[in-house]
Amino acid sequence: MNHDLGGWPEELKPYEDSRRNAMYAANVKTLGELLHDDLIYLHSNGVRDGKASHLNTIGSGAARYVVLTTSGVESIGLGTDVWLITGRLLGEVAAKGQSFGIDAVFTCFWWRELRWRMVTWQSTPWPSNR
Residues that bind other proteins (CB under 8 A): 38, 40, 42, 44, 46, 48, 74, 76, 78-79, 81-82, 84, 86, 104-105, 107, 109, 111, 113, 119-120, 122, 124-127, 130
Smallest distance, Å, CB 32 to other proteins?
Answer: 19
> 27 or 103, CB closer to other proteins?
103
Helix locations, the chain, DSSP H: 13-25, 28-34, 51-59
Fill in the amino acid letter for 125: P
Smallest distance, Å, CB 31 to other proteins?
Answer: 20
Smallest distance, Å, CB 64 to other proteins?
Answer: 23
Residue 68: φ, ψ to 5°: -140, 120
d(CA 15, CA 101): 24
**Total count of residues recorded for the chain:** 130
